[in-house]
């Protein structure tokens, strides 16, 4: 199979796309039949088949234990954010439907709701192991599953749940009227935010701490800005126009069996941009307590002042300690006066000394020896943000306890194969 069979797809040629996969996929005619029954026009079908065929292709490889895979196809499946779905023409459609002032949902797959039900059918049964089944490596959707759906939104979490994801990482801040909300940035991001008039923000918007919850909810964060760097990074993300920044409470109530790693977003370099770490930690604890979710959450931060406060006042609450190169270089600032030198240069020892449960390192800084050391100290290791299959396989082989990823769909395939003692390449 040549790469061009997947890469060159036009709106009217979806049947040829299916035929290219016919030796590997069962039931491809059913895909198109279901799409047509839902009233999709040819553009929607073509776009959807690209996504379904790629994911179903990965599942077929895993299920049927094919001995060898064309090298170009392996490269295609590994480079998930840029090539796997061949969405080059999707940007042009988005430019038309999401230009400034246009708030109508994009016609086609997203509007008709055909993408995610079908995606769930294809990868939610025999290919992906249900997240509730016992397995060694936990798959944690980063910001919900921002590689697939708008980050940190009710719509994104709900559709990720439909795929079988049951563990999530999310970020929180606080509004001017004291509501804990789910948002990564301290200010509204022009890469994902449109105002009530439908126009994209040109610059980072108001600080969330300066807006009331009602005002914050007037902004639409359901689509990535066309042609932005963020769009290039997450080409597979499908828009959910009308999505708003949600309250933490509403996200935690989405599923009683879902677990959440909640990052307290404070920055010691910019203390004026958010509430202080203790105030935010206490507010999150209050939300968690009100809905009885204390057994389903882990609270984490790069700014260790928040988790350290939680350890002092609520030691039964699970905590995680985030690290990346920047915070290691300036540990005294980020770690509330602690330095790696105080622990012989060992980050796992610094984390263990805080009495926490989990170390969450940037995956690029994670090594086999650091994972082993962390385990010897009684820590779970949850690296972030792991999106490439090769990196997933490597980290699993080192014994990490979970993967925080923008693409939990792919991670569930990889970890499912690992749980069976198989290679997902097979």
pLDDT of residue 145: 97
Closest CA to 317 of 274, 355, 361, 351: 355
pLDDT in tens, 74-87: 344 444 333 333 33
The larger pLDDT score, comparing residue 148 to residue 54, is at 148
- In terms of Cβ atoms closer than 10 Å to its own Cβ (0-12, 13-18, 19+), residue 1 is middle
pLDDT of residue 424: 72
- In terms of Cβ atoms closer than 10 Å to its own Cβ (0-12, 13-18, 19+), residue 412 is buried
The pTM (predicted TM-score) of the whole model is 0.71
CATH number for the domain that contains residue 255: 3.20.20.190
The larger pLDDT score, comparing residue 296 to residue 86, is at 296
Q: In terms of domains, do 117 and 177 share one?
A: no
Which residues form the domain of 14? 1-127
Q: In terms of domains, do 216 and 301 share one?
A: yes
Asked if 400 and 365 count as a contact pair (C-beta separation under 8 A), the reply is no
> What is the rounded average pLDDT for all residues in the chain?
78
Asked if 213 and 174 count as a contact pair (C-beta separation under 8 A), the reply is no
Confidence of residue 3 (pLDDT cuts 50, 70, 90): very low
pLDDT of residue 356: 82
Q: How many domains does the chain have?
A: 2
Q: In terms of domains, do 246 and 288 share one?
A: yes
**Which of the listed residues 61, 92, 127 is the one where a domain comes to its end?**
127
pLDDT in tens, 125-150: 333 333 333 347 999 999 999 999 99
Q: In terms of domains, do 264 and 309 share one?
A: yes
Q: In terms of domains, do 220 and 183 share one?
A: yes
Coil vs helix vs strand at 220: strand
Rg (CA), the chain: 22
């Amino acid at each position: 199979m040549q790469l061009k069979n997947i890469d060159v797809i036009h709106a009217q040629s979806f049947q040829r796309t299916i035929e290219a996969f016919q030796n590997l996929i069962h039931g491809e005619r059913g895909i198109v039949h279901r799409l047509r029954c839902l009233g999709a026009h040819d553009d929607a079908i073509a776009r959807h088949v690209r996504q379904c065929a790629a994911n179903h292709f990965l599942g077929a490889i895993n299920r049927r234990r094919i001995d060898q895979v064309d090298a170009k196809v392996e490269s295609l499946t590994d480079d998930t954010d840029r090539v796997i779905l061949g969405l080059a023409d999707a940007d042009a459609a988005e430019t038309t439907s999401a230009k400034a002032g246009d708030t109508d949902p994009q016609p086609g797959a997203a509007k008709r709701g055909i993408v995610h039900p079908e995606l769930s059918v294809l990868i939610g049964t025999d290919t992906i192991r249900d997240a509730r089944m016992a397995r060694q490596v936990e798959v944690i959707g980063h910001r919900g599953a921002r590689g697939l759906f708008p980050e940190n939104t009710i719509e994104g979490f709900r559709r990720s749940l439909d795929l079988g994801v049951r563990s999530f990482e999310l970020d929180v801040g606080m509004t001017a009227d004291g509501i804990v909300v789910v948002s990564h940035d301290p200010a509204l991001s022009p890469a994902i935010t449109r105002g009530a008039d439908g126009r994209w923000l040109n610059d980072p918007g108001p600080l969330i701490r300066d807006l009331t919850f009602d005002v914050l909810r007037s902004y639409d964060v359901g689509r990535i800005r066309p042609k932005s760097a963020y769009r290039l990074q997450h080409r597979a993300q499908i828009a959910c126009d009308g999505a708003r920044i949600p309250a933490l409470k509403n996200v935690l109530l989405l599923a009683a069996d879902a677990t959440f790693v909640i990052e307290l977003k404070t920055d010691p370099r910019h203390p004026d941009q958010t509430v202080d770490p203790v105030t935010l930690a206490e507010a999150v604890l209050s939300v968690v307590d009100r809905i009885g979710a204390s057994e389903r959450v882990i609270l984490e931060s790069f700014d260790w002042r928040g988790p350290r406060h939680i350890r002092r006042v609520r030691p039964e609450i699970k905590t995680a300690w985030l690290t990346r190169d920047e915070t290691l270089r300036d540990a005294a600032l980020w770690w509330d006066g602690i330095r790696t030198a105080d622990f012989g240069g060992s980050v796992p020892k610094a984390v263990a000394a805080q009495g926490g449960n989990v170390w969450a390192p940037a995956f690029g800084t994670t090594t086999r020896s650091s994972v082993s050391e962390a385990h010897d100290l009684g820590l779970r290791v949850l690296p972030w943000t792991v999106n490439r299959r090769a990196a997933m396989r490597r980290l699993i082989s080192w014994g990490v306890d979970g993967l925080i990823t923008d693409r939990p769909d792919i991670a569930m395939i990889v970890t499912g194969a690992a749980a069976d003692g198989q290679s997902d390449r097979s």
